[in-house]
Every structure is written in structure tokens, then in C-alpha cells.
Structure 1
Amino acid sequence: MTVQVRPVVDRDFFDWLGLWEGYSAFYESEVTDTKALIVWSWLTDKAHELSGYVAEDDGKLVGFAHVREYPRTLEADRAIFLDDLFVAEEARSHGVGGALIEEAKRIARERNAGAVTWITAADNETAQRLYDNAGTRTSWVTYETEV
């Protein structure tokens, strides 16, 4: 498998949508046309804070990463947050996830950011095997509340 990572472009919509549906299903999140179009509009809007990257193998999209920059007040710098990372099941264990993380690191270096951070579900052991090799597991606990 020869993987190339590049920014998402308009022609990627339907292939990205298929991957995003797989990502949403994994996290048991309902996919709606409205959600898909909103997220896609963010990814393709150069002025929006969220950027999208896709992993491509022989012309076929096999994964994506969505990233954004954020301030780190305790470090007085900025970092890249890897919001979403997904690899098609048939492309897993072929370096796609690692290539997408490397792209996030490249973006961080380009922007002089101090780190790349991301979270995953506690039971996502497959991803955690990759993440344990790509970064350091932190001691932070994440909370969320609906508003």
C-alpha cells in the first residue's frame, strides 16, 4: 500500500462521506445530511478553523484526519488538536493512521505549534495500540456537558 496524505478537496466529498459514515457508526453517532454538509463546509472553507486531510491509496480514499489549532495557556503557545482520525477497515495496519498522525505533526511544525493532542474512546483498543506508539498517554481525564 502506497499512501499519500493531502488536504481534502471538493471532489472528495462522496468518498469522504463514506468514511465519515463509518467513523460515525463506530462512535454510534447518527449521520444526517445536515451534519454531513455542515462538517464538509467547515473542511472546505479556508477561513474555518477545522482542516481536513485524506489518505489516498491508488486513487482511493482510505482514511481522514480533521485538525484545528488551539491555544495552550499553561505553555503560552498553540497546539494542533486531532479532532477525528479514521481509517477504512481494509486499510488498517498498513500505516495509514500513522501517516495521518505524521501529517498532523508536520502541520504543527509548520505552524510552530508546541504539540499535537487527541483523544479516543476508552474501549478503542485498536486505535490505542497505534496511539501508544505515536505519542504519550496523558493523565488528563476528559469531561463533557450538554448545553
Structure 2
Amino acid sequence: MLDISAQLRQRLARVREGGSAASRERHQGRGKLLARERVDQLLDPGSPFLELSPLAAFGMYGEPGDDYAVPSASIITGIGRVQGRLCVIAANDATVKGGTYYPITVKKHLRAQEIARANRLPCIYLVDSGGAFLPMQDEVFPD
């Protein structure tokens, strides 16, 4: 049995991959950068990125036993430095169900905006989304 910290590292590594290998390959085949690559290109060179809620949606959707059906809730959020200024960044991951919004995606996105407001940080949105995840569209509204 893995110890807790090894299990956490394993889960974080898996969600950082984003969608399936086929989805990532198709996305890159279209000449597009992956979501984390877009964030990396935006950040000041060598500056860190504090990712928020990378395990959001873990085990919430998909078939039983598929804890990674919607990695990182299909959106990457965090704090990083752009042009010398700390910013909150949100980037949809189009390799995860076309970057569509699940109910937890909305909550994660709003939480990032709340953090930005509370800390007077500008927000940068890197949007590549199919909109609401249609089978759950009736649940995709802020509380």
C-alpha cells in the first residue's frame, strides 16, 4: 500500500496529464498547445505557478472506479507572475471532454475569482471550452 504522500504525488501526476492520450494527441495534431503549456507560455520565465485545486472532481464523475474521468475539473486555475505582476490564471483543458464545464468546474472557477478579488489580483482567462457539459447542463449554474 502506498503511503499518503506517495499516493498524493501519484494522483497529482495523473491529473497533470489532462485528458486521455488520444485526446492530447488529437489536440496537438490541430496545432494547439495543451492547457498547461499555454499557462507556462504566459508566465514570466522561471516564475512558479501555484495551482489551485488540482484534484477537483477526483472520483466525482465517470464510471465507478474511474477517479480520473474529469481531471482537475477540466480547468486549470492558479496564481502566477505575468509581466512582473501576480495574477490568477484560469485555463480550460480542451483534452478533458472538450473543456466543457461540469458543476464542479463552475465552483472551481468561481473560487479562483474569489481568491483574485480578495487579494486584488487581475484574472487572465485562457478559454478553450465547449461550454456546459450538456448531459449536466441543468446543474451548471453558480450557487
TM-score (norm 2): 0.45
- Structure having the larger proportion of residues in strand: 1
